[in-house]
Structure 1
Amino acid sequence: MPVLENATIMTIAKLAKVSHTTVSRALNGSNLVKEETREKIRAIAKEIGYTPNISARGLVNRKTFLIGVFFSEMESGTSPSFLVDVLNQAREALPTGYIVSVDSIGNYKGNALPVGRYDGVVIISQAESDDVFIDQVRDQHIPMVVLNRQLSREDIVNYATDDYLGAQLLIQYAARMGHERIGILEGHPKFSSTKERWRGYVDSLNKAGLQFNDQWVKVGDYLPKSGYDKMKELLSGSAVPSCVFVTNDDMAVGAIRACEDLGFRVPDDISILGFDDTEYSKYLVPRLTTIKKPTHALVRKGIVALTNLLSAKNVTNRTETLRPSLVIRESVANVRNETN
């Protein structure tokens, strides 16, 4: 059977020799239609290339088929690679027919979302200041999941990554490789991930009995330019560490460029640690040792939970912290047999 242009429910009804009501029920999974008939109708729909009219379905079900994805800050702090990764995963995980709309939380603080615009909302939270917006969405009774930042509440579906553990894994690895002078390029000062990664860094240094030097601490904003600028500042100091924990891969790109521009070879002269395991991290020269943040799993879990909320189904696992993993590549030198 050939693909038909502008195929409708009536087209399928004629081919299946049933009523248009039966077709509608079958395509929506109604138990009022026998399984054999449902399968026959679905097979015909697929064969002729039938595409549901989302707008018409929305009018019947009072749905917009629009999912809002909100980031803490779009213009600063949110790395482009993380944003793209989240959106790609959201589009893949959402049921067919849904559209993703992207916006910044900052555009709505103090103002409610337009009534009826979104069927559901995914909030990629990075700072405690997002709580005002989260409460606004909750008070509007819009189905919502909050990802990326751990909340100290249980009334909202919330999945996050253990950034503290990720930082610990990196510093422990650097210490095992013989590094005793480990610096850090921090991310956006207001972001919870920055605070957790800093905490993991400091605690790991203390546990390993390693030196802390505030000259080796620089504050960026998670974007490549800040990685470049802050690494140049660090390398221009009187004392240079043998290894630097750059707290996300985007800043690590800038940091490695700064090392090259100032004549420092990575990892021969200075080692670099990243965080996130973005797609390009394995193509850098040298390939970046980093932490794999389970963004794919995080977003998929969130979308599955949101889909259940949209269908008024129960979400049993409402909170979870996902474990990151260490990815060892070539940007950290083994200096165990050297004197630091």
Structure 2
Amino acid sequence: MAATIKDIARLANVSHTTVSRALNNSPLIKEVTKRKIVEIAQQLNYIPNYNAKSLVLQRSHTIGLFFTSLSRGTSSSFFADTMRGVNSIIGVEYNLFVRGIDDYSDYATIHPKRFDGIILMSQSDADNAFIEHVVNQQIPLVVLNRLIPGGSFVNIVSNDREGAGHAGEYLVAQGHRRIALIEGMQGFKSTEQRRIGFLEAIQAAGVDVPAQYIVPGEYSTESGYEAMRKLLQLDTPPTAVFCSNDDMAIGAMNAAFEMGVRVPEDISVVGFDDIKFSMYTNPALTTIKRPIEQMSAHGAEKILERIQLQASDEELIFHGTELIERRSTAADGK
């Protein structure tokens, strides 16, 4: 006869509820207890019956990971960092369903029988209708990336405005006065917050930014490339550029290289995010570290906790940003 949770509980001298939580990698169970239970389960060759468990607990064992859009404004590195963070926490006992909100004409298929919990990487106010639907369906929810106070869910964000301000202050301190901005996807909160923080910082230092120095992008390498070409073709090009993410900064540096403009000797470039590839560019990219992978892992921990506790209270968590100085920036010698 196959081993059961009760068999494991008897040998571990704990309740069957503790065994169930431990095998589901619940953060509520101490690691030493969890290891003991897992070892006993392995010794007994315990095989969980997920279909039976789903019927008893009325759970789908599916967690949804949603983005505002997977086709527009979500760079491959941003997506990869998010997936890596979530996947490092979510065990094999859960299916991970990944989708863009803009794929849906309505949210009728988003309900508690299909999703035990949802993690949303929110990039736009357009997500509010989706958030309202999930909350009304009483599905445990974690919202990453966008500050939304007053909701009955976990909200994990980084201070983009402050981080962009640090980028502006750094370039001013390097002696730059002709400083340009390559923006992210229009309509995204991150774009707005980084623009505000950056402009506030350099204007506070007495540096004006002419309109032609603010160029729209789409958070993609290609858009950064095209934006930098426009800036370098101006009669008076900038000596420094702040790009609203690292993908655009990498595209911008490639455009400069093709046009015979040296980084950082002729133009300094600062990015935002500190994606893994940024330290391997030539030159290595100076950037603002925003811990997307850590935020996503934290979000995954919180969704598992919410599923176990069926909690619906508001929880706001901030992750800080940090200037990472590398070789794509130099003092203005002009």
Q: What's the TM-score once normalised by structure 2's chain length? A: 0.88
Aligned-residue offset at 1:152:
3.5
The letter for the 2-side match of 1:107 is D
- Whether 1:28 aligns to 2:20 is yes
Partner of 1:9 in structure 2?
3
- Whether 1:159 aligns to 2:156 is yes
1:45 to 1:200, Cα distance in 2 relative to 1, 3 A? same
Partner of 2:319 in structure 1?
322
Structure 2, unmatched stretches of 5+, are 23-32
* 1:187-266 correspondence runs (5 A): 187-266=184-263
Q: Which stretch has the larger CA shift, 208-217 or 184-193?
A: 208-217
Aligned-residue offset at 1:27:
3.5
1:42 to 1:90, Cα distance in 2 relative to 1, 3 A? closer
- Whether 1:171 aligns to 2:168 is yes
Query: RMSD of the alignment, in Å?
Result: 2.8
Partner of 2:299 in structure 1?
302
Q: 3-state DSSP class of the match of 1:106? A: helix
Distance in 2, matches of 1:317 and 1:11, equals: 33
State how many pairs are aligned. Answer: 321
1:10 to 1:151, Cα distance in 2 relative to 1, 3 A? closer
1:285 to 1:38, Cα distance in 2 relative to 1, 3 A? closer
Q: Which stretch has the larger CA shift, 249-258 or 57-66?
A: 57-66
Distance in 2, matches of 1:82 and 1:303, equals: 16
* 1:120-135 correspondence runs (5 A): 120-135=117-132
Distance in 1, matches of 2:35 and 2:173, equals: 59
Distance in 1, matches of 2:282 and 2:258, equals: 14
Distance in 2, matches of 1:214 and 1:39, equals: 60
Partner of 1:3 in structure 2?
none
Q: 3-state DSSP class of the match of 2:120? A: strand
The letter for the 2-side match of 1:282 is M
Aligned-residue offset at 1:220:
0.6
Query: Alignment partner for residue 94 of structure 1, among 72, 90, 95?
Result: 90
Aligned-residue offset at 1:309:
1.5
Q: Judge conservation of contact 1:26–1:42 (CA < 8 Å) in 2.
A: no
The letter for the 1-side match of 2:161 is Y
State, as a whole percentage, how many aligned pairs show the same letter.
33
Distance in 1, matches of 2:171 and 2:293, equals: 26
1:333 to 1:98, Cα distance in 2 relative to 1, 3 A? same
1:42 to 1:291, Cα distance in 2 relative to 1, 3 A? closer
Q: 3-state DSSP class of the match of 1:274? A: strand
Q: Judge conservation of contact 2:140–2:153 (CA < 8 Å) in 1.
A: no
- Whether 1:184 aligns to 2:181 is yes
Partner of 1:149 in structure 2?
146
The letter for the 2-side match of 1:28 is S
Partner of 1:77 in structure 2?
73
Q: What's the TM-score once normalised by structure 1's chain length? A: 0.86
Distance in 2, matches of 1:106 and 1:246, equals: 26
Partner of 2:28 in structure 1?
none
Q: Judge conservation of contact 1:12–1:44 (CA < 8 Å) in 2.
A: no
Q: Judge conservation of contact 2:183–2:216 (CA < 8 Å) in 1.
A: yes
Q: Which stretch has the larger CA shift, 166-175 or 109-118?
A: 109-118
Query: Alignment partner for residue 328 of structure 2, among 325, 328, 331?
Result: 331
The letter for the 2-side match of 1:82 is F
- Whether 1:104 aligns to 2:94 is no
Aligned-residue offset at 1:42:
4.4
Q: Judge conservation of contact 1:161–1:324 (CA < 8 Å) in 2.
A: yes
Structure 1, unmatched stretches of 5+, are 1-6, 31-36
**RCO greater where, 1 or 2, for CA within 8 Å and sep 6 or more?**
2
